[in-house]
Amino acid sequence: MELKFSQIFSGLLFLMLLLTSNIKSQHDPMLTQYMFNPLILNPAYAGTNGVLTAMAMSRYQWVGFEDAPSTHTFSMHTPVVSRNFGTGFSIIHDQIGPIKNTNAWLDYSYQIYLTDQTRMSLGLKGGFSFYQKDLSRYANDIDITDGYTDSKFLPNFGFGVHVYNHRYYVGLAAPRLIENSMSETDSNESTFISRENRLYLLMAGYAYPLNNELVLRPSFMLRATESAPFNLDLNVNLLIRDLFWVGLLYRTDNVIGGMVRYQVTQQLGLGYAFDTNFGGVSSHFGNTHEAMIIFEFDFRKEQVQNPRYF
């Protein structure tokens, strides 16, 4: 009988989960529109945009294939105490095939003036992930014994630094520092995802006004972890009349894409991103779609002196 590529994909995915001891999991959210809400990755961002902000995002990777990865996030953050402090929280749900991770984080930041216009924010992140594994649905295809269903509660914490003004930002973060074991034993004989490796992030962006109506905003993010090679995101966005963003993405694991964002009102923004793999086996895995909604509860009566691009 002829097999569809989606069936082959599902089989390969299962074998990867079964045979690999340190595969990089969906625990680390890979978001194309991360630059519009770095709080998911860097706790120092909490409260830095000056208003209470809520954001929801859904990402569907390799659309069309069963068991393909998906990520859903919701976050809120706000300045407090004369805007020298910030606080926030985020919820992230990742799933790839039979493996799920639900994360809940609380974020806290303290901001210091470096100059009249530039601040440095120091942030702490604390929370947990609830890891679930259920391979029982493969029992009819492969002889499965005990231990193929598991769940774990994994506490963790992280930190971040965010230097910014209305023209640029530079951030450094380690959102997960504890290397929790994700298997019953910490030995190298474990045949499943075994450990949460530390993740280090470096990100930066700059806003360059071309004229009164156009602002060019390049940015990048570098990811480093023991479980995978260095990963670099390069982005360039063009802001048109402070209402419409259009951008391009290149990621070093053979990914290209684009994104748009429309500022419906002063408070409500909508975004969409599309990316695709090229070259190698990954080019057959389909495309990725990402939708975003962001709302700012701006209760201030005074006008903002400088436009905010980050």
What's the whole-number mean pLDDT along residues 200-215? 95
Q: What is the pLDDT of residues 125-173, one digit of tens each?
A: 999 999 888 777 666 655 555 556 778 899 999 999 999 998 999 999 9
Whether residue 264 is contained in a domain is answered as yes
DSSP 3-state helix, strand, coil percentages of the chain (rounded to 5)? 10, 55, 35
Confidence of residue 281 (pLDDT cuts 50, 70, 90): low
User: Does the pLDDT value for residue 306 go beyond 80?
Assistant: no
Whether residue 85 is contained in a domain is answered as yes
Give residue 151's pLDDT.
84
Domain housing 237 = 52-181+194-297
Give residue 19's pLDDT.
43
Highest mean pLDDT among 130-139, 142-151, 267-276, 298-307: 267-276
Whether residue 307 is contained in a domain is answered as no
Whether residue 116 is contained in a domain is answered as yes
Q: What is the pLDDT of residues 41-52, one digit of tens each?
A: 999 999 998 899
Residue with the bigger pLDDT between 91 and 23: it is 91
Give residue 283's pLDDT.
52
Give residue 97's pLDDT.
79
Structure tokens at 259: 């994104």
The pTM for the full model equals 0.83
User: Does the pLDDT value for residue 285 go beyond 50?
Assistant: yes
Spatial contact of 79 and 47, defined as CB atoms under 8 Å apart: yes
User: Does the pLDDT value for residue 280 go beyond 90?
Assistant: no
Cβ contacts of 22 within 8 Å, gap of 6 or more:
193, 194, 195, 197, 227
- How far apart CA 260 and CA 273 sit, in angstroms, is 6
What's the whole-number mean pLDDT along residues 252-272? 93
Residue 69: exposed, middle, or buried by beta-carbon count in 10 A (0-12, 13-18, 19+)?
buried
Whether residue 309 is contained in a domain is answered as no
Domain count, the chain: 1
- How far apart CA 239 and CA 241 sit, in angstroms, is 7
Residue with the bigger pLDDT between 250 and 97: it is 250
User: Does the pLDDT value for residue 228 go beyond 90?
Assistant: no
How many CB atoms lie under 10 A from the CB of residue 302?
5
Give the helix/strand (H/E) hosting 237: strand 228-240
Identity at 89, one-letter amino acid code: F
User: Does the pLDDT value for residue 240 go beyond 90?
Assistant: yes
For residue 94, give the CATH number of its domain: 2.40.160.40
Q: What is the pLDDT of residues 170-193, one digit of tens each?
A: 999 999 898 887 665 544 444 444
User: Does the pLDDT value for residue 77 go beyond 90?
Assistant: yes
What's the whole-number mean pLDDT along residues 56-83? 87
Structure tokens at 51: 């208003």
Confidence of residue 213 (pLDDT cuts 50, 70, 90): very high
